[in-house]
């Protein structure tokens, strides 16, 4: 757990750390969370899932104004502790400005993205001792624990066709990137090094996964093929590089870096060439996402 107890510039990781330390989960501050956008796909809905269920969260009453259907393109999913001491999931309907509380459980819940078809949500949940990758319908019904391991796991990301989920797991001793089928079966480790790899992001074509790695002593953006081959360090910089986000066409990757003395938003070609600073101001700019 030592690596997770370090203060990081990624607030969602800070929430993950504090929620995993006994006696600190109820004191975890809730970050303002952005949802990783799901790539455009042509695939149909994922098949029905039958993993082992756990205690379902309580769904809140729908407000008087009727929002768009859960999972619609006019929504932003975020985490908030506005309803209590723990972070729960809330979708914001952009058209009506209405917010609905989706979950109400006795631990923090960190949102992952909607599935490509918009019908489901992956998330990082917290049990008594460990975090896990969870799945629920977009209306918060039928929540399940997909990973069911006695180690910390989280940061789920859908493949563009909705058939696979990439995630971070400590089941082999430190943070590594894994993939599994969308029902939680057949987990496979993609990365294997003594340092931490986490927070995967799929390329729009589903062929590659970008992630943050500390195997060179600092935090770099690395990339690996979805079959585990072709590992490549894209930034290879002594500074800290975080939060890779693919452009919709897959030709560029945005990320945050402190290579100029504070956190700025950078963009580079998908092969790691031509990095340049987009924001260039004395404030801290972090966690980029592309508009589809």
Domain locations in the chain as residue ranges: 2-202
Say whether pLDDT at 199 is over 80.
yes
Q: Which two tokens stand for residue 234?
A: 């894209």
**Spatial separation of the C-alpha atoms in residues 275 and 254, rounded to whole Å:** 9
Q: By C-alpha distance, which of 236, 273, 232, 233 is closest to 257?
A: 236
**Spatial separation of the C-alpha atoms in residues 178 and 46, rounded to whole Å:** 19
pLDDT in tens, 120-129: 999 999 988 8
**Spatial separation of the C-alpha atoms in residues 146 and 132, rounded to whole Å:** 7
Q: What's phi and psi for 70, nearest 5 deg? A: -60, 135
Q: Which two tokens stand for residue 7?
A: 């203060």
pLDDT in tens, 32-71: 323 333 333 333 333 333 333 333 343 333 333 344 566 6
More confident call, 260 vs 57: 260
**pLDDT score at 59:** 38
Q: Which two tokens stand for residue 26?
A: 């109820």
Considering the four listed CATH numbers 2.120.10.30, 1.20.140.10, 1.10.287.3510, 2.40.110.10, the one that applies to the domain covering 2-202 is 2.120.10.30
**Spatial separation of the C-alpha atoms in residues 8 and 148, rounded to whole Å:** 26
Least confident of 80-94, 176-190, 198-212: 80-94
pLDDT in tens, 156-184: 999 999 999 999 999 999 999 999 999 99
**pLDDT score at 47:** 33
Torsion of CA 184, 158, 187, 109, to 10 degrees: -60
pTM: 0.75
């Amino acid at each position: 757990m030592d690596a997770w107890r370090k203060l990081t510039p990624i607030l969602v990781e800070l929430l993950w750390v504090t929620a995993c330390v006994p006696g600190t989960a109820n004191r975890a501050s809730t970050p303002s969370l952005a949802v990783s956008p799901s790539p455009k796909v042509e695939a149909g809905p994922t098949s029905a899932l039958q993993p082992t269920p756990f205690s379902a969260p309580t769904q809140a009453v729908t407000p008087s104004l009727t929002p768009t259907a859960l999972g619609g393109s006019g929504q932003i999913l975020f985490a908030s502790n506005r309803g209590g001491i723990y972070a729960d999931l809330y979708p914001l309907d952009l058209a009506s400005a209405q917010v609905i509380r989706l979950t109400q459980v006795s631990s923090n819940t960190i949102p992952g993205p909607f599935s490509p078809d918009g019908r489901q949500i992956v998330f990082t949940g917290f049990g008594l001792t460990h975090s896990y990758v969870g799945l629920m319908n977009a209306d918060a019904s039928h929540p399940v624990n997909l990973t069911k391991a006695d180690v910390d796991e989280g940061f789920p990301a859908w493949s563009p066709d909705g058939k696979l989920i990439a995630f971070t797991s400590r089941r082999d001793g430190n943070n590594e990137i894994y993939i599994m089928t969308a029902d939680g079966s057949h987990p496979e480790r993609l990365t294997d090094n003594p340092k931490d790899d986490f927070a995967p992001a799929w390329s729009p074509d589903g062929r590659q996964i970008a992630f943050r790695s500390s195997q060179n002593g600092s935090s770099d953006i690395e990339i690996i093929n979805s079959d585990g081959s072709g590992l490549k360090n894209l930034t290879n910089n002594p500074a800290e590089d975080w939060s890779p986000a693919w452009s919709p066409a897959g030709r560029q990757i945005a990320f945050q870096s402190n290579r100029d003395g504070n956190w700025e938003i950078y963009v580079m070609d998908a092969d790691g060439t031509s990095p340049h600073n987009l924001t260039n101001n004395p404030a801290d700019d972090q966690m980029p996402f592309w508009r589809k």
